[in-house]
A and B are shown apart, each in its own frame.
Chain A
């Protein structure tokens, strides 16, 4: 039986309750995604040499194999070939800066202010002189040095004096990178946000999930769940050596001496949204979330022209956002392989839902009609243009108040919605017409 031909007809027939076809998947990661794939009806894991319809790979595999693999039309893989244009800190900044200049040139000053969502960042050593210029323009400011290709907070430190960089270079603390053959431009220096929004003295950042199924035209989905990661220690600018205080990655927190695994370091996005609404009122918080939508869309637009828009690719990004005291969101970075290692049971369940819904959107089973604005916990945020909650029809035509179709931090009643869309098994005895 030709697998290609049957894919589009839908694979699991809930009405008849039979498996009509299998989806062969390859997955080299051993955490939540494995569980989700294994439990999906009709999906079967294949071994290394066999053919696959779906591949959830890590970036290493991608680098080595993508260019040599021939993929049939229906095949899907979870990365874009050159995703690093968005996820490598130095490249992201380069693309954002170029995008910003284009906007300024083509549209004007008003629009440009909407692109001011990332702090000054310079790639070292190539932009060292530009960095020094900006550094001198704001004396006494704090900067953060980040390795471009590392994750989980490795290799990061804060500094206030140029001397600190000299010392760091001399000490050769990054010599291990050199040994690994890391590219020359391996660090970025970024202006540290000195007035982060604190909750009871603690700093936190936000992790938000954005799924991109196509860059040209740009189609992006925003997941309703997400979380705020808290630093275990109280924030103060006095001790910039205390990296545990400034970095909020759960991975870093786990190594801190006073880390208590019993203590939760995370709040669900819904919890945070409610807290902020109670403190600042609905309008301010809605503005904040609109500004975040703006960050997601514009960051994707900035790499739209450079990303190789392979029809087989889709990608789930983990956006790291920091809020400052004025409730302005700042883009810190974008992750192509957001950690799916759960920190606790609740976290595991949330990540399962996220991954299940990702697979629902990718729709290997061919069950969606393509007009959906919502799939499970995902809301379609951008589809070659903004997507609005309200349907465009004769009645709403001419109306000026449209709201963007995003619900970050709102109620995620995905199961109800999935059942309605027939993407989840119906309840026993429930008629499915």
Chain B
């Protein structure tokens, strides 16, 4: 398909998606109402209405909506390609993902039957009332969660990724200097330092960065003050694309909430608030088995975290609603995963009796709540917090726990991490391999959570600024390699996996931007 046709198809798709949205009807209404204005003339109707929409900010809002659609649209493909090819072009990856999903669902179903807890049940009225009263302090509830186990932990998923093989690729050659030393044995194309330097050029040492040039001993007039002024302008212009570009150099603390909301086009309109309230009503009415998994996860992870324990209640309010949000099902068009199905009790098994379970198709795993926790720092209105989280999930986080060939997918990130390490720190990699401490075994848990819970909050937010700014999770793999580079001296001395883990146990003092900058721009190639 040539570029012109491709563009037409894209435009057609976007127009289709925006038709019938609330924004569409709002703009229509605005256009109709502006006809009463004196400066709208019949002879130049089209131009005048257009310029009215421009000056009143509606064109900008439309631009932001289009920009958002570009982020979540399906990749270009052959017209005859079946839908699963859009989710994931490589057949062996699709197969691996499907069998992983089967395992997870089986685990969930057997937990349900073992414990005698239904996957879903309607709450009795008294319980509904109690929950409504306790909505803002669900964290004070202490349900008995000892019987529930997380459905899977990141390390289980890692084993699946390690066993992935491309049937068309012969990887049986002897292990040599030229072969790959790491655990991921898939030939995916991942970018190396020279390519990353070009792609992430704004992170170079000559460009000002937040996380480096806003440090205590650097005078604010050298970079920070002006950068903040630019940021304020971006926020007042309400331009998503500009906000995304701006975020590459970091977001100032006081502007970050607005900037991220802009980049994600989370406008928190009345209909978004209403949608959230509907989800909340759904939580009140029905109890899901996955709710217990969420409770358990929050209690085990976020509640024990020095930074995030305060936000426990918010996490329930977001995650319980998230489980019931069928709007999330949309993202499965471009996610290699498929939402799990379950059958209603008493009905014959057949497709018309199957329902997606949980309603949003996402089964939480151990550590899932850490995707939400850092956002609590920025937003304290539940519906806003919810809409920002949901958008971040369907753009980025889902790629961290599904098997796909995407450049931002966890498989690529793992491979990229290992390749970066092998290319630029071969001695370290070899040493760790020899003592049975494969680096990925340590770095995997960081990458699956995009470092949430491992870095201090301010550093994490600076990292996520760049994920948003570059619309890619690659920076997570780069940081993982940079951390190993930073601690390489100590790591060269260790003699076991346990001691390697100990060296890398505490990342809370790390400053991410200097590490990334040095790794990308000061490493000798």
Contacts and interface: CB of A to CB of B under 8 A. Distances in A.
Contacts of A135: none
Interface string A268-282: 000100110111111
A202 B310 CA distance: 7
Interface in B113-143: 136-137, 139-140, 142
Contacts of B311: 200
A267 B304 contact: no
A264 B253 contact: no
Contacts of B305: 264
B407 interface: no
A275 B377 contact: yes
B307 A267 contact: yes
A201 B137 contact: yes
A50 interface: no
A335 to B, nearest CB: 24
A106 interface: no
A64 interface: no
Contact of A200 (B215, B216, B304, B312): B312
B137 A234 contact: yes
Interface in A88-139: none
A230 interface: yes
- Among A266, A274, A410, A413, max chain B CB count under 10 A is at A274
B452 to A, nearest CB: 15
A48 interface: no
B157 interface: no
Contact of B377 (A201, A266, A278, A282): A278
A359 interface: no
B380 A271 contact: no
A199 interface: yes
A282 B254 contact: yes
Given A234-B137, A234-B140, A411-B216, A274 B306 contact: no
Contact of A234 (B136, B257, B309): B136
A200 B309 CA distance: 10
Given A201-B137, A271-B457, A230 B310 contact: yes
Interface string A196-240: 000111100000000000000000000000000010011000000
Contact of A410 (B216, B257, B309, B457): B216
B331 interface: no
A260 B304 CA distance: 9
A271 B307 contact: yes
B376 interface: yes
B285 interface: no
Contact of A274 (B137, B253, B257): B253
Which of A267, A279, A280, A410 has the largest count of B CB atoms less than 10 A from its CB? A279
Contacts of A410: 216
Interface string B374-398: 0011101000000000000000000
Contact of A278 (B215, B253, B304, B314): B253
B159 interface: no
Contacts of A258: 140, 142
B458 interface: yes
Interface in B249-302: 253-254, 256-257
A263 interface: yes
A202 B389 CA distance: 22
Nearest to A204: B310
Contact of B140 (A233, A265, A346): A233
Contacts of B139: 234
B254 A267 contact: no
Contacts of B69: none
Nearest to B461: A278
Contact of A277 (B254, B304, B376): B254
A229 to B, nearest CB: 12
Interface size on A, as a range, is 20 to 34
Contacts of A18: none
Contacts of A262: 304
Contact of B380 (A200, A266, A267, A282): A200
A287 to B, nearest CB: 13
Given A263-B303, A271-B307, A278 B256 contact: yes
Max chain B CB contacts within 10 Å: which of A200, A230, A263, A271? A200
Given A200-B376, A410-B216, A274 B304 contact: no
B136 A201 contact: yes
A263 B306 CA distance: 7
Contacts of A199: 310
Interface in B52-110: none
B310 A200 contact: yes
Given A200-B314, A201-B136, A410-B216, A281 B254 contact: yes
Interface string B28-63: 000000000000000000000000000000000000
A202 B303 CA distance: 14
B213 interface: no
A65 B361 CA distance: 72
A263 B309 contact: yes
A55 B278 CA distance: 65
A201 B216 contact: no
Contacts of A266: 306
B313 interface: yes
A237 to B, nearest CB: 14
B310 A267 contact: yes
A281 to B, nearest CB: 4
Contacts of B253: 274, 277-278, 282
A86 to B, nearest CB: 31
B313 A267 contact: no
A238 B309 CA distance: 24
A296 B521 CA distance: 46
A262 B300 CA distance: 10
Contacts of B142: 258
B380 A279 contact: yes
A277 B255 CA distance: 9
B306 A413 contact: no
A366 to B, nearest CB: 28
B457 A274 contact: yes
A413 B218 CA distance: 13
A29 B377 CA distance: 39
A200 B256 CA distance: 19
A234 B377 contact: no
A266 B307 CA distance: 9
Interface string A165-191: 000000000000000000000000000
A260 B305 CA distance: 12
B216 A274 contact: no
Interface in A394-417: 410-411, 413
A225 to B, nearest CB: 14
Contacts of B310: 199-200, 202, 230, 267
A234 B139 CA distance: 9
Nearest to B376: A200
Scoring B253, B310, B378, B380 by chain A CB atoms within 10 A of each residue's CB, the highest score goes to B310
Contacts of A413: 216
Nearest to A412: B216
Interface in B132-158: 136-137, 139-140, 142
Nearest to B508: A346
Nearest to A273: B253
16 contacts: A233-B140, A234-B140, A258-B142, A260-B303, A263-B304, A263-B309, A264-B305, A267-B306, A267-B307, A271-B307, A274-B253, A274-B458, A277-B253, A278-B257, A278-B377, A282-B254
Question: Closest 10 A-B residue pairs measured CB to CB?
Answer: A264-B306, A234-B137, A281-B254, A411-B216, A277-B253, A282-B254, A278-B253, A200-B311, A200-B310, A199-B310
Given A263-B303, A278-B257, A410-B216, 9 more contacts: A200-B311, A201-B137, A202-B310, A258-B140, A263-B309, A264-B306, A267-B310, A282-B254, A346-B306
